[in-house]
Chains A and B, each alone.
Chain A
Amino acid sequence: MALLQISEPGMSTAPHQHRLAVGIDLGTTNSLVATVRNGVPQCLQDENGKMLLPSVVRYLPDGQVDIGRSAQAAQAIDPRNTIVSVKRFMGRGLKDVAHVETMPYDFVDAEGMVRLRTVQGVKSPVEVSAEILKNLRQRAEHSLGGELTGAVITVPAYFDDAQRQATKDAARVAGLNVLRLLNEPTAAAIAYGLENASEGIYAVYDLGGGTFDISILRLSRGVFEVVATSGDAALGGDDFDHRLFCWILDNAGISLPSDRDSRRLLMKAREVKERLTLDESVPIRTALENGDEVDLVIERQVFAEITANLVSKTLKPVKKALRDANLSPEDVKGVVMVGGATRMPHVQRAVGELFGQTPLTNLDPDTVVAVGAAMQANVLAGNRATEDEWLLLDVIPLSLGIETMGGLVEKIIPRNSTIPTARAQDFTTFKDGQSAMAFHVVQGERELVSDCRSLARFELRGIPPMVAGAARIRVTFQVDADGLLSVSAREQTTGVEARVEVKPSYGLADDEIAEMLKAGFEHAQNDMEVRALKEQQVEAERVIEATEKALQADGELLNEAERAELDAAIVALRSAAEGQDARAIKIQLEVFNRASNEFASRRMDKSIRGALAGHKIDEIRI
């Protein structure tokens, strides 16, 4: 008889079971998809050999959706239906979006997230982003020759809960199984750290198209630990374009350009900005719709001057992150530059001056995030052996709290807490006999609720009548490894419970997502059912495979009766999965999950004991 191979919990799979997993950098300007093939991370190209997919989506009158380069080319002729930089609108209300007045869109100020009216109806930023993700998913499936097991999607480290939730929703609408939301600078650090075998304190300065992040990490063998992060979720290369665009308007004496001219001049501004990286001066020549001509020349020095305050705006979060980490610039061993906007020489100069060293630019700032995400996706899919996995410890960027009397914020989880994390705080009633309590969950650093972002409101009802101050209502915040919050409240003396998954204020309701999912399947109801069945079958297979491996490794943790019960549950689930009824599989999966709970928990115990072995096991009272 062949010897059975036994692996650790959290185990790897045999090579022939390599799961297709990708990392996706969903950027403001460009998006990319990457994977690890034969141990080598690589960005996947489209049929024309291009890696970068411009994050541009155009809705056409005939119901077609154009994505990427061709949509980008159409933005000056069809600005209203061609959405660029949609990432800026994710999880944002109209009042949060900068430069609305110069944008050529027909905004609809819906409750929570802003919407855009197009020739194909009103679109949410989630749907627009989902089009980009769907395009990348198809590219990956075509290129890898199979369905994806899952994807790691990157988000700016400074994204708040609403923006993260919106990103995860977009991935769901695009039919992706999200293995993890990963912070962009952390993804870059993985790619950089593993490539360079670095140790020590590193700063990742990530200036993208629309967002700025700074993360301070401690890299040691096999561990990536984020010590502090800060940034500005509405500052990026786009703002440099906009500054140059305004300079062109001023100097060419244009006061009110048409939507098309605005688009044309903004594109021109971006092109000129990019050329100024190499050239000392660049001519700006273009013809406008009304026949006017723009004919200017800009010097690199002038561009640096008109954008100097944008650069210094990035340095404040850098100093804040260093202070939060209790470090000074001299403690930082290397500064990794990420994002296309860090190519600008005056940005590199300013960062270099602050840290007293030349920033590291040896990895392509456009692809490094996608590459790191692909490496992490490969780990999360279980494609690597446990012993060569690395450990990633990330943090939440902004404090989470609850509104208290007088519109003040009581912070429950401070920023830079390592995730996953949970904290509880007790509150009490204000009036005699008070039977309900309203909670308002906010995110931000300011003391006043009005200065923070509102995430959710919920109520706890059915509090038994007591005198004021006698009830004990414990509010628990849990942040998971994606940085997403869920909140629950419980009256301690009676156990009355209220739970809320935080999304409402700036996210989408679940039925809206369902609607989008439905709309996403171009064909009949039938296709949707086929897809639902397929999803359940894949999930059942995944769970059975994982459990069988676990039984191989740790079967001795169950007695005979327990083992028989779990085996029976596997048989039942397998037979349901062979049928054609998605609902039946789903029910069987729930039954199975209940049956495997105890086994999972014993395996976890065994693993934790393993962690303590080699320390002083005799001292531990178990």
Chain B
Amino acid sequence: MLDMKQDFFELFGLEPRFALDLDRLEQAYLEMQGRVHPDRFAHLSDAEKRLSMQWATRANEAFRTLKSPLARGQYLLELKGVDPAFETNTAMSAEFLMEQMEWREALEEAREAADEDVLDDLARRIRHDTKGLVEQLQAEFDTAGDLEAAADTVRRLKFLEKLQHEINDALTALES
């Protein structure tokens, strides 16, 4: 019996690896939504409507998680029982803390300058670094199988994502 305890990879018939064929993921997701989406059940019984909402919710959650490299990395760690310890600083390397400070300073400067070009440039650099970390994460998960290293990389990615959000907020604020 299929059930909601299946992990997200199983749900879409994918191998639990970091490297992922995004087209295949999307195809499996759309195929599943095509069958479970509430729009398919609007004229059926309440029992079927409720099930449909639960499954469509689950499919959306699974797709959202697997699509993003950060969420996927985090989820893989969770499946393997590794806590990335986002809340505590103790697990973070000095190098990483140093890097955090540098990024923060750059963001503050850009925000104070209220210069769209500077903020855009910073966003570009973050995208570039993110790309590098994602490649690194793939090697750590799929080649080396080094979960400790992967957890550290996931923490870095999480930090970069937060910075990206803050830059977007700053850009939005500039426009209003």
User: A interface vs B, CB < 8 Å?
Assistant: 9-10, 19, 149-150, 179-180, 223, 316, 319-320, 323, 376, 379-382, 386, 389, 391-393, 417-422, 478, 480-481, 542-543, 546-547, 550, 593, 596-597, 600-601, 603-605, 607-612, 615-617, 619-622
Contact = CB atoms under 8 A, between A and B. Distances in A.
Nearest to B58: A422
A547 B2 contact: no
B34 interface: yes
Contacts of A542: 43
A600 B45 contact: yes
A612 B13 contact: yes
Contacts of A617: 13
Contacts of B51: 600-601, 604
A552 to B, nearest CB: 14
Interface in B15-64: 15, 24, 28, 30-48, 51-53, 55-57, 60-61, 63-64
A323 B61 CA distance: 22
A-B residue pairs, 7 tightest by C-beta: A10-B40, A380-B42, A382-B43, A481-B38, A615-B13, A600-B47, A600-B48
Contact of A418 (B12, B39, B60, B175): B60
Majority-rule SS of B interface residues: helix
B32 A10 contact: no
Interface string B48-87: 1001110111001101100000000000000000000000
Contacts of B33: 391, 393
Contacts of B43: 19, 149-150, 179, 380-382, 542, 546
Nearest to A377: B42
Given A391-B30, A481-B56, A608-B32, A179 B42 contact: yes
A605 B61 contact: no
B56 A604 contact: no
Contacts of B64: 417-418
Nearest to A543: B45
B39 A420 contact: no
Nearest to A607: B35
Given A179-B42, A179-B43, A381-B43, 6 more contacts: A9-B40, A10-B40, A316-B175, A380-B42, A478-B53, A593-B46
Contacts of B46: 593
Nearest to B47: A600
Nearest to A12: B43
Nearest to A606: B2
B171 interface: yes
Contacts of B136: none
Given A546-B44, A611-B32, A620-B10, A605 B56 contact: no
B1 interface: yes
Contacts of A376: 39
B93 interface: no
